[in-house]
Chain A
C-alpha cells in the first residue's frame, strides 16, 4: 500500500514527462496567472470561512456532548458521526434545494417577512460553497473537540468553582486551554478537507468564481494540461501535509487516529 502510494505521488511530478524536460514553469504559472492565483486565494478564503464557522458552531455542541448529554451521550456521538458516512454528493446536492431562489431558506425568510424577495446570492456563490463545506465537515469538527473536552475530569471544574471562580472564568482559564489541542486538530482537518474539495464548489459554487480545485479540473479536462494540473495538485498536497504534520503528534494524542 505504502509503495503504491509513494509511487503515485512520485508520478505526479514526473508528469512533466509530457514535455520530457524538467522545468518549474508550471509552478511559477500558479503565482503569475490570474485565474490560478485568484482561485487559490478564493479557496483559502472559503476554507477559512468554513473552518472558523464550523469551530464556532461545533464548540458549544461538543461541550454539551461531553459534559451535559448524560445518558444520550453515546447515541448522540453516533448521530453526529453518521451523516459523515452518508453520501456526500447527495448531502451537498440537498443544499441546492435549500439555498435556491425558490428554496426552503428563502421561502422561510420570506414567510416570516425578514426579506421581501429571494436572496439570489445564496446559491451559486462562494458563500454557498462555504456553507456547504461547513455543513459537510461539521462532524469532523465536532468529534475531536468532543474527545478533548470529554477527557477533562469533572473534578477540575469543581476545583475551579470551589476556589471561587465564576463559570465564565472556569471556562476561560480551565476548559478552553485544556480543549485547545482538540480545537487545533479540528481546525486543521476541517481546513485541509475544505481547501481541496471539488464536489461542493461545482454543485453549489455556480462556476463563475472558480475555486482552486475547479481550476485544476479545468486545466486537466479542458486544457489537457496535465503537468499544470499536477503542479497545482502538488501545491495542495504540500500544504495539506505541512498543516497535518504541524498537529500530527497532538492529533494522535487526542486519539484522533
Chain B
C-alpha cells in the first residue's frame, strides 16, 4: 500500500518543501533588503548596488539623536521587562493555582491589551494620563508598555505554572521553609526559563513599539519614534544602517526567547 503511494508522495513532498522555502524567503526578504541596502552606496535604495560602503553606519553612529533615543528605548524596555516579570509572576500564580469565580473573564481581560489595536491603546493611554495627570515622557511610556508587557508575561507564566508540580512547594514548606524562602529558592529558579522568556518578550515588544510611545512620550523620543520621523522626512539610507543594528538586537533576543519558550514547554509536557 505504502509502496504504491510512494512516488506520488515524493513529488508532493518535494513541492511542499519548495513551497516552504518560498514562504521563508518571503518572511525574510524585507529583512535581507534592509541589511543589503545598509551597505549600498546608492542614495536611493535601488538595484543594482553600485558600491559597498560603511558611510551610513558612520553617519548613524555619529547621530546624537539616535544615541539619545536608543538610550531611552533601552531604559524603558528594561523597566517594562522587569515590571512585567514581577507582576506577571504574581498574577499567574493566582490564576494558575487558585480557583475563583470569573477566572475566564480575568484571563480575557489579561488578553485585551494584546488584541486591541495599538493605535486605540495609544489614544486611550494619552487620555487617561492626561486625566489623572501623569506627565508625558519616559515614565508614561514605561507604564503604558507595561500594560501589555504584563499581559505577555502573565500568559506565558500562567501556562508554565499550570504544568508546575505544586508538590515541590509543599515539600519545601514541610521541610520548614517559609513562604518567602520557598518563593525565591524553589519557585523562581524552577520557572526561570519562563521568566527569562517573559522578560525578553516584554522587552522586545516595548523596544519595538511605536504608536503608543508616540502618543504619550511628549517631546521625548524612543528609537521607533526617531525612526518614524526620519521615515516621514524622506528616505535616508542612514535608516537602513540603524535598522540593521536594531534588527540584529531584536532577532538575537527573539531567538533566545523562542528557544526558551520551546524548551520549557517541552519540559512541562514530559
Contact = CB atoms under 8 A, between A and B. Distances in A.
A174 interface: no
Interface string B151-195: 100010001000000000000000000000000000000000000
Contact of A6 (B16, B109, B116): B109
Given A2-B106, A78-B262, A85 B16 contact: no
Contacts of B151: 1
B31 A83 contact: yes
B30 A98 contact: yes
Contact of B258 (A9, A78, A233): A78
Nearest to B211: A198
Given A12-B127, A80-B27, 5 more contacts: A78-B262, A86-B251, A88-B208, A89-B227, A217-B119
Contacts of A155: none
A213 B108 CA distance: 24
Interface stretch (B18-26, B50-58, B59-67, B74-82): B18-26
A96 B246 CA distance: 18
A149 interface: no
A60 to B, nearest CB: 6
A205 to B, nearest CB: 14
Contacts of B239: 93
Contact of A233 (B106, B120, B205, B247): B120
12 contacts: A1-B146, A8-B128, A57-B23, A68-B13, A87-B208, A90-B247, A91-B31, A94-B31, A103-B46, A135-B30, A240-B116, A257-B107
A61 B201 CA distance: 25
A198 B118 contact: yes
A192 B110 CA distance: 17
Given A61-B19, A78-B262, A94-B30, A229 B1 contact: no
